[in-house]
Structure 1
Amino acid sequence: MTPGIGESWQRITGWLATHAPATHRDVNPPAAAADLTALTGHGDLDLPPGLRRWWSLADGIRDRAGASNSLLGFYRPLSVRESLEMRRWFVGEQAKVVVQPDPECEVAGAFAGPYSHAFVPVGGDGCGNNLFVDLRPGVRRGCLMQWLKGEAVLQEPLWDSVADMLAAVADALAHPETGLRRTGYRLVPEVTPHGHLDWEIRQLPA
């Protein structure tokens, strides 16, 4: 059974406070209600309870020059305002409906060509790639997928929910020998000399 979001977040912030204090200091306070209202009003979004719960605990992590703060593997957690700004950049001020060329790509967890109005960015890497919650309809609604610059969405979901994502990150921090597993490699937490969290890529045995 997946731990609750509050439990996983407490494990994560506890680890950061002890091992990566600079990143811990960069964790934002809870999101403002007005910011959440602005985001949900951009396309009449119905955010999953898990995403609302996470943002009620922390409004992302600050973007600081020279620090990765990439808590979510390659991605820094975005604030609600940053999520809205990124959505506006992709789908416009009025969140126009984006139709996928293939009808099979209109369900959650499927590949996608253009950036969908049903994507809610929650993580960014500063290089044009982002991690988003997929709000397309279907049994996988709420899963976490990657938008890769120049490739669109051509990979399977990384996690089935925000709760799964935070539980996986908490486990990876507590058990670095396992880390975050990806296809062909794993991400192992490390801390910079200035106390910021980063991840080392280690190839898996063939």
Structure 2
Amino acid sequence: MSDEAAPVVVEPAQGAWQDGAQHVQGAPEAVERLRALLEADPRLGEQGPMPSLYHLRIAVAQGGRGPLLEVAYTFGPPALPEGTVRIDTIRAVERPVAFDYDVPGIALPEEAEADPESGPGAVTVRDPAAEEIAARQVTEAWERIVGWLAEHAPRSHRTLLPAAGEEEITSAEQAFGVRLRADLKALWRRCAGVVDKHGAEFLPHNRALMTVGESLRIQRMQLGFGNEDLWRPSWIPVCSFNAHDTTSGLYLDMDTGRLCHWDRFGDRHPVHDSLTTYLEEIADTLDVPSLAGPPEPGLARGVLTWRPAGASDEGWRPLAR
């Protein structure tokens, strides 16, 4: 018998491409390059908190340029037979400002380091003045978004729910078991989520703003798994791929104030410095569409939707630049 190891087989799962990522120019070629890399080194990615699960980010263009693809894959036992790689999801993502993912397999950013003078287990002290400023900025950015929807995307605008009352927010804070940040409460004081119907997924990557109740339900569900690496009480879900989705979305970290990505494969990483940054970038992009991409904002029969560069769905047109 030969001493040579059996070749590694790399295949994408059916439906691995998400949100039209295959339409990003150069994305299919980038995935083909990645397949060759995984055949040579199936442990190229960063291993997730669950066995057999890995994730990484690659640049679409060679040399580390252009948009990024976020790839989650499964390798070997216990989930798959030995020598088998299944690419589970491929998504186009915005290039983070603070981190560099150009090299496949680079570790995802760790949580912010604790202040060495504070000692272990120290509680972060929030600045009331800074929180007040953040709440005002969130309110202003959200009003810009809502105003734009009312004028240009009426079907999306009609999915907005009224503001949450102070009693509802106070009750939610008690149920979450953590002190909510002022920026999140400011958002809920303007809008308590969306109605789950066509047009509601108007946030970038076609995400929907969760209701307060749905945010609490998903937090409790995630905490029910009992794994602090997968979910912590201070992580409050904000939006996902629909108003009830539990597989992927964004949560706000009450400890750091950062807006972070989660998915069912155990990937957790920051994508925006704050909720303020996220909403201001959306408002700026709607006002000046040339700032976008990918994904690119556009309209389809009164609905705001976001498509990666190069996508051309019937009835969808990009915003005028």
TM-score category, normalised to shorter length:
0.7 to 0.9
Match of 1:147 among 253, 256, 262: 262
Residues 70 and 125 in structure 1, CA contact (< 8 A), matched pair in contact too = no
Match of 1:76 among 208, 218, 240: 208
**1:37 shift after superposition:** 2.5
TM-score normalised by length of structure 2: 0.50
Match of 1:6 among 124, 139, 148: 139
Count of aligned pairs:
174
Aligned to 1:172: 285
Residues 156 and 304 in structure 2, CA contact (< 8 A), matched pair in contact too = yes
Aligned to 1:110: none
**What per-residue deviation string (whole Å, max 9, x for no partner) do you get for residues 46-99 of structure 1?**
1111111111011122211x445232433211111111111121114xxx9x66
Residues 5 and 53 in structure 1, CA contact (< 8 A), matched pair in contact too = yes
**What per-residue deviation string (whole Å, max 9, x for no partner) do you get for residues 146-180 of structure 1?**
10121331x3x22111211110110111122221x
Q: Structure 2: any 5+ residue segments left out of the alignment? A: 1-132, 311-321
Q: Structure 1: any 5+ residue segments left out of the alignment? A: 101-112
Match of 1:60 among 193, 207, 213: 193
**1:33 shift after superposition:** 2.8
Of structures 1 and 2, the one with the larger relative CO (CA 8 A, separation 6+) is: 1
User: Which aligned segments of 4 or more residues in structure 1 are displaced greater than 3 angstroms?
Assistant: none
Q: Which has the higher strand share?
A: 2
Residues 76 and 125 in structure 1, CA contact (< 8 A), matched pair in contact too = yes
Is residue 304 of structure 2 the alignment partner of residue 190 of structure 1?
no
Q: Distance in 2 between matches of 1:47 and 1:4?
A: 16
TM-score normalised by length of structure 1: 0.75
Identical columns (%): 27
Residues 23 and 196 in structure 1, CA contact (< 8 A), matched pair in contact too = yes
Q: What secondary structure is seen at the aligned counterpart in 2 of 1:89?
A: helix
* Amino acid in structure 2 at the alignment position of 1:191: L
Residues 27 and 62 in structure 1, CA contact (< 8 A), matched pair in contact too = yes
Structure showing greater radius of gyration is 2
Q: What secondary structure is seen at the aligned counterpart in 2 of 1:41?
A: helix
- Taking the TM superposition and a 5 Å limit, the aligned residue runs for 1:86-165 are 86-92=218-224, 100=228, 113-126=229-242, 128-136=247-255, 141-153=256-268, 155=269, 157-165=270-278
